[in-house]
Amino acid sequence: MLKRICMLAVPAFVVALAALVSSPVPAQTKKGTIVCWKDKSGKVIGCGDRVPPEFQDNATKELDKRGITRKTTETAAEQAKREAAEQAAEAKKAEEKKLLAEQRRQDAALINTFTNEKEIDLKRDRDLQVVNGQLTQLRVTHKNAAARHAEVKKRMDGTLKSGKPATETQKEDLARAEADMAKAAESIAEKEKEQDEIRKKYAAMKARYIALKGGPAPAAAPTAAAAKK
């Protein structure tokens, strides 16, 4: 009878033991490893054989028995930050590639457009000549507006000296002359700036052309007085 009871009990014990052995074991409890969990700032705040439930979403790292990190995980925020950095790096790489391709295109156009440095200087001078003509006309416009302003001002002063107030026509003429002077002065400043930009543009173009041809560095830029000739 006792023998029969033992025979019946053994299978039950074996089943229980098999169930225990076959139950899933969390990765953190892998034999010979220690898992550490971090707070939101990335600082380790605890270690053990498994991550407590309240820290399941935190970043972790697993260490072997020698203290060497074997595995790490990251939080959703860390993952998003890493992916954003990777995307930014890829975008920068693509932009650099685009700029390099554009530089090569410009270099090819430069070499194919000019046969020597003097041709670059001639093209610069032609562009400057156009702007110089516009500047001459604007300076005439400014001079005429200044003359009208002086004339109207003189008439207004005469009217005021006679003891009479300035007429509305005189005031309008003076305001119109002042506006014309201001507009012409602004346009002159813009054209002078355009002159400087043309000189800089062709100086850089010439330097690049020389570099591509493998020649010596260009001579020093002309003085301001010589540049305005």
Q: What is the pLDDT of residues 115-173, one digit of tens each?
A: 999 999 999 999 999 999 999 999 999 999 999 999 999 999 999 999 999 899 999 99
Which residue intervals of the chain are DSSP H helices?
A: 2-22, 76-113, 117-161, 168-213, 224-227
What values do phi and psi take at 28, rounded to 5? -65, -20
Q: What is the pLDDT of residue 158?
A: 92
pLDDT value of residue 45 = 73
Mean pLDDT of all residues in 13-19: 37
User: What is the SS3 assignment for 60?
Assistant: strand
pLDDT at 6: 38
pTM of the model: 0.55
Q: What is the pLDDT of residue 21?
A: 36
pLDDT, position 76: 66
Reported confidence tier of residue 175, pLDDT bands at 50, 70, 90: very high
Q: Taking a C-beta distance cutoff of 8 angstroms, is the pair 62, 34 a contact?
A: yes
Q: Is the pLDDT of residue 7 over 60?
A: no
- Domains along the sequence of the chain with CATH: 25-75 (no CATH), 115-216 (1.20.58)
The more confident residue out of 192 and 68 is 192
| Mean pLDDT of all residues belonging to the chain | 80
pLDDT tens digit string along 61-82?
777 766 676 677 766 677 778 7
Instruction: Report whether pLDDT(190) > 80.
Output: yes
Q: For 3-27, what is the mean pLDDT?
A: 39
Choose between 228 and 97: higher pLDDT: 97
For residue 86, pLDDT beyond 70: yes
pLDDT at 75: 67
Instruction: Say which DSSP state 72 is in.
Output: E
Distance CA 136, CA 140 (A): 6
Q: What is the pLDDT of residue 32?
A: 63
d(CA 171, CA 165): 10
